[in-house]
Amino acid sequence: MTNHSTQKKKVSPLIVIVISFATIILIGTLLLKLPFSAQEGSFVSWVDAFFLSTSAVCVTGLSPIADLSATLSIFGKIVMMALIQIGGMGIVTIAIYILAILGIKIGITERYLVKESLNQNSVGGMIKLVRMVVFTSLIIEGIGMALSFIVFIQGYPFWEALGVSAFHSVSAFNNAGFDILGSTSLVAYSDDLFLNIITMSLIVLGGIGFVVIHDVLNNKRWKDLTLYSRIVIRVTAILIIVGAILIKLFEFNQITWLQALFTSITCRTAGFATTDIGLLSDATVLIMMLLMFIGASPNSTGGGVKTTTAYTIYKSITSFLTGKPTIIQKRKIDDETKYKAFSLVVLSAACVFAAFLALSTIELPNPASNSTFINILFEAISAFGTVGLSRGLTTSLLPASKLIIASLMFLGRLGPITIFGVFNKNWGRPTTSGLDYPTEKMIIG
């Protein structure tokens, strides 16, 4: 007889991932709450420390403090930069990389954990992938820091310019959107073509994902790239170009083409701004919310439902309307992928809507808040998409609203499927049955 009580239960990697992120957020909260994390005369409350830590680990960029540069000490800024780096690469990736450096054997359980963390299809080559993620991040951030330094050295002393450049590069590549330049983000640099190009390049590279970067570096020609990489690059380019054109069209002479392009790119979960978001028209804001909801690509430092999800839904709808199978370059999209894409979008929209209702109930009666329905919806989508853009609402949020936004950032960074997958008792053990059931045709539409 088998003694079931002695059998070890396999812990879902999803639970480990959720707990690891939550643990780093709590550690970050404690560090940011330390007296020497704030400058003399400044104060960070427990709620604000928790909000900042969540926003940094979830690489969002929303901040309840208008000017981080004037509030946080050097230690506090280093803590923030470390949290952004950990959140961007993922605590699981960093932990496995450290274990590999120390020569500790990485077992199959840890490889499955990395597989789920980086959203891969198999456990093969996980350690190699982890090394690539870490090396790629550090090299790109190093280049970004060096190039940014050329700009910031013109307005800051040497060591301060170096610190600002490092923070800016890490924040941009990880699509965090935090800055230590003041309370107006990059508005003062809206006409600086060099810094704009550097920042946009870092955002795009972080947003397309490590797998695509690795594929492009190894296969220089377009036809040699994997189908996944080609889809990610093509959809990313379309969203950026169409977004920039629409934003410029709706704003006419209010913003330049450079600002329109930057805004379109930063909506891909970055959170920097070279124009005052609060002054943009409602039509532009709606376009931005759509871009924020779609977000970046899988295996990236960005959030949102992801470009491949949007592309899968688009192909599924067009295929249904034309009565043809869902084919992408002579390959058929399987039903499981389509179910996952539609489920992800529905769950995401439901979570954003629930948060929007809760925030509206709390914030609309708040006289100190810059709250309107569109501003609250913008804030909710920005938090879920881990974007970090705000129409002046974040700094005036009530404590309860800050906790709701923090929950949205956490949900958006890990993804609804990961969060709800924690409650799936059959993870890794798909149930099989010999029974078959008759098909029922539901009346739809």
Confirm whether 91 is domain-assigned.
yes
**Plot region of 179 (φ>0 → left; ψ -120 to 50 → alpha; else → beta):** beta
Model pTM? 0.89
State residue 427's pLDDT score: 54
State residue 253's pLDDT score: 87
Confirm whether 281 is domain-assigned.
yes
State residue 327's pLDDT score: 81
Q: What is the rounded CA–CA span in Å between residue 169 and residue 141?
A: 5
Evaluate whether 378 touches 278 at the Cβ level (below 8 Å).
Answer: no
State residue 146's pLDDT score: 97
Instruction: Please state, as a whole number, how many other Cβ atoms lie within 10 Å of the Cβ of residue 154.
Output: 9
Sequential pLDDT tens for the chain (445 residues): 444 444 445 667 778 788 888 999 999 999 999 999 999 888 899 999 999 999 999 999 999 998 999 999 999 999 999 999 998 888 778 888 787 787 777 777 777 677 766 666 666 777 888 888 888 899 999 999 999 999 999 999 999 999 999 999 999 999 998 999 988 889 999 999 999 999 999 999 999 988 899 889 888 788 889 889 999 999 999 999 999 999 999 998 899 999 999 999 999 888 899 999 989 999 999 999 999 999 999 888 888 999 999 999 999 999 989 888 888 877 888 888 889 899 999 999 999 999 999 999 999 988 777 788 999 999 999 999 999 999 989 988 999 999 999 999 999 888 888 777 777 666 555 555 567 778 777 777 7
Q: What is the rounded CA–CA span in Å between residue 83 and residue 98?
A: 17
State residue 29's pLDDT score: 96
State residue 8's pLDDT score: 45
Residue 72, strand partner residues:
38
Is residue 124 classed as helix, strand or coil in its secondary structure?
coil
Is residue 375 classed as helix, strand or coil in its secondary structure?
helix
* Burial (0-12, 13-18, 19+ Cβ within 10 Å), 197: middle
Confirm whether 124 is domain-assigned.
yes
State residue 6's pLDDT score: 40
Confirm whether 4 is domain-assigned.
no
Evaluate whether 273 touches 382 at the Cβ level (below 8 Å).
Answer: no
State residue 1's pLDDT score: 43
Q: At what angle do helices 108-117 and 91-101 cross, to 10 degrees?
A: 140
Evaluate whether 178 touches 271 at the Cβ level (below 8 Å).
Answer: yes
Confirm whether 196 is domain-assigned.
yes
Q: What is the rounded CA–CA span in Å between residue 371 and residue 356?
A: 12
Confirm whether 130 is domain-assigned.
yes
Instruction: Please state, as a whole number, how many other Cβ atoms lie within 10 Å of the Cβ of residue 388.
Output: 31
Contacts of residue 30, defined as CB under 8 A and 6 or more positions apart, other chains included, come to 49
**Plot region of 208 (φ>0 → left; ψ -120 to 50 → alpha; else → beta):** alpha
Q: What is the rounded CA–CA span in Å between residue 100 and residue 131?
A: 9
Confirm whether 165 is domain-assigned.
yes
Is residue 201 classed as helix, strand or coil in its secondary structure?
helix
Confirm whether 442 is domain-assigned.
no
**Plot region of 271 (φ>0 → left; ψ -120 to 50 → alpha; else → beta):** left
How many residues belong to the chain?
445
Is residue 327 classed as helix, strand or coil in its secondary structure?
strand
Evaluate whether 12 touches 422 at the Cβ level (below 8 Å).
Answer: yes
Residue of 11, 55, 17, 110 whose CA lies nearest to 428: 11
Calculate Rg over the CA atoms of the chain.
22
State residue 121's pLDDT score: 67
347: containing domain = 12-421
Is residue 444 classed as helix, strand or coil in its secondary structure?
coil
Q: What is the rounded CA–CA span in Å between residue 320 and residue 309?
A: 16
State residue 116's pLDDT score: 67
Report the number of distinct structural domains present in the chain: 1
Tokens matching residue 375 = 């501003």
Evaluate whether 176 touches 88 at the Cβ level (below 8 Å).
Answer: yes
